[in-house]
Structure 1
Amino acid sequence: MHQESHVLYTDLISPLGFSMEENFKALCQGASGLKPNTHPLFKRKTYTSVIDATLVDDSFSVLGAVDQYTKLEKLSILLIDKMLKETNIDPRNPKTLLIYSTTKGNIDLAETKNDKIPSKRVLLSEFKNVLKAFFEFANDPILISNACISGSQAIIYADSLLKTKLYDHVIIVGGDVVSNFTLSGFYALNALSEELCKPFDVNRKGINIGECCTTIVLTSKKESNTAKLVAGSSTVDAHHIVAPSREGRGLTNAIQNCIQQYPDAAIDFISTHGTATKYNDEMEALSINNTNLEKTPIYSLKGYYGHTLGAAGILESVISLNALKEQLLIPSLGYTTLGVPYEANVITTLEKKPISGFLKTASGFGGVNAALIFQQA
């Protein structure tokens, strides 16, 4: 019998709102969190999606001293605290596990001096210990940092752990913040766009960076009429340290693996990685064609949130889960004219439609790739 992980809970803090409801409402209205920003080192214009630090501090002040925690720690604590209260999950229960996905964690600590926060918390191992101590988790949190598939990889790993029956609930949280360090890296790769990003569009110029903190809770028990994760696969083609495989072999294999795991899956839309870079969008479109899904409606959420790095796989899964719940196809913001040399059915208008399931794809530096299939319960 095929064992499935059920989705118990989702939530999201982003520039578009401090709840899942606020985010999905803003998204359906076509709002974007991306705003003009000038890189402080290179004086080059770009767009970033940044959460108002004052709003974060105001919300966090009831939980702790705002000057004792970094922005990402505060966002993560706010999200986890709300989730624990709404689900009644006990973090002290040995059957509860936290998995955190991020690419850079508290990287902003390396940029500014802070006398009240130890500099060692820039280390990912120290970052997760802050969350363990705050909530008194019985188990050591697991931290996954695997480039831009970190979030999707965390979901896949959570699913595999639930199948061992060692845990009843796995809390998966993803977060990254916009930093000069990250912007400098993408600037050096000539990947930053000076315009709003346009995934799959003929006029796309590159990536926009965003930040968020988001969560999805998986359980082996069907506790309500929720969606379920029925398949997940990650692959690595080791094509290049930063460039995706031109043939799309790794992502093609990941999608094929998912379909083989659950042949009866309904794939009514695809939530793509869709970074708006030349080669990523071409590779994704090719992989979709390679798996005979070129007629399937697709979208990218990067025009709403920017690329949220280690949180992207989770953010884009939870938004898609809400689209599944509401039976909506979400338009790919910024897209007007197809700009990849392969067939792609990019969604341009918000549309109500019967939906039974979807595919989520992701790719990242080093040739890593991931795919997930969610279905209605």
Structure 2
Amino acid sequence: MQTAVDHTLDIEQIRRDFPVLDQLVNGKPLVYFDNAATNQKPLPVIDALTRYYEGYNANIHRGIHYLAEKATAAFEASRRAIQQFVNARHWEEIIFTYGTTDGINLVAQTYGRRFLNEGDEIIITTMEHHSNIVPWQMLCEERGCILKVIPVDDNGELILEEYEKLLTPRTKFVSVVHVSNALGTINPVKTIIDMAHAVGAVVLIDGAQATSHVDIDVQALDTDFYVFSAHKLYGPTGMGVLYGKKALLDDMPPYRGGGEMIKEVTFEKTTYNEIPYKFEAGTPNIADVVAVKTALEYMATLGKENIAAHEHDLLQYATAQLSEIEGLRIIGQAKNKISVVSFVMDGIHHQDIGVILDQLGIAVRTGHHCTQPLMRRFNIAGTTRASFAVYNTKDEIDRLVQGLHRVKKMMS
């Protein structure tokens, strides 16, 4: 995949690639600022899905007819594209899942059950999504492990000095979000990984919010596991990726039983397949796996550096404009952030803000963002979150600011 080198993007041309943006909501042009939940899909990705279903829909790997072989080739081409995208050493280290949540649960229920025992310590952070909290709580209840939590300061940054204190010879696993979905904070994951490895712990990084915003190099990070979802990098929903170091994956037991994950089955004993297929039981989400390769190619054509530069420009502009609104407070002021602005307004419930903005055609996310412990850390019930993607503009941010002034007027 070739990467664009021109640091300017034709945003209006890019917007034409996303047909969902060309519509009215409540009589107003749609402004879509809910990209941290899922971003919209460009026409090439939509066309890739259509081509699969119209041209070569078939089950993969086991068929020898033309359609099956074509579908298998496209499916495995996506695995190679993802290997390149995250710079994995081996293609076998790429496991297809149904999303980030599925990948975390896979690791907790396979590596965790086999290698973690009573008294072993697992470390997460205060800013984790529930998907990176609950699986470890379940494992701790089952295995007698101890869950520890890295605290967050008032700016929404991890307190690494406290993390260092949490690390002990009993620390066996560290699972940390790369980028906070609620605050936009980019965590120093390389430092976190190195510190964990120094005490012999294994590390998982939740990259759901990171993959479309920052470069991912699993070898440079030296992470043991990395998980993410396709639908947050302009790809389809229902498809995700678990990267794991080959030696670890080889030692882990299967997660689900069924077709494809076996070599031979008798009533007396089953012999399991090699990785990655050992973890891919049953008919997979073929069409969406095929289409994610197109999503990666689309991003590469624009240039990830160009996307990041545009989104950073939007973040700075939005932060400055929103900070001028009296009574509005931005939650999360980390030095390193992706294009997420999460805020509260004095005396106005976040849900009321979202309802009024929706009437103006502006889509934002309100609530606790599946990070209830983080909301409690800031002593709030939730926030309004505006999150930006490559197709968003400063004019749309101006509409958000105008909408929030209307919210103030209506709710005062």
Shorter-chain TM range is: under 0.3
- Normalised to the residue count of structure 1, the TM-score between the two structures is 0.26
Would you tell me which structure has more strand in proportion to its own residues?
1
- Normalised to the residue count of structure 2, the TM-score between the two structures is 0.24
- Please say which structure displays the higher CA radius of gyration: 2
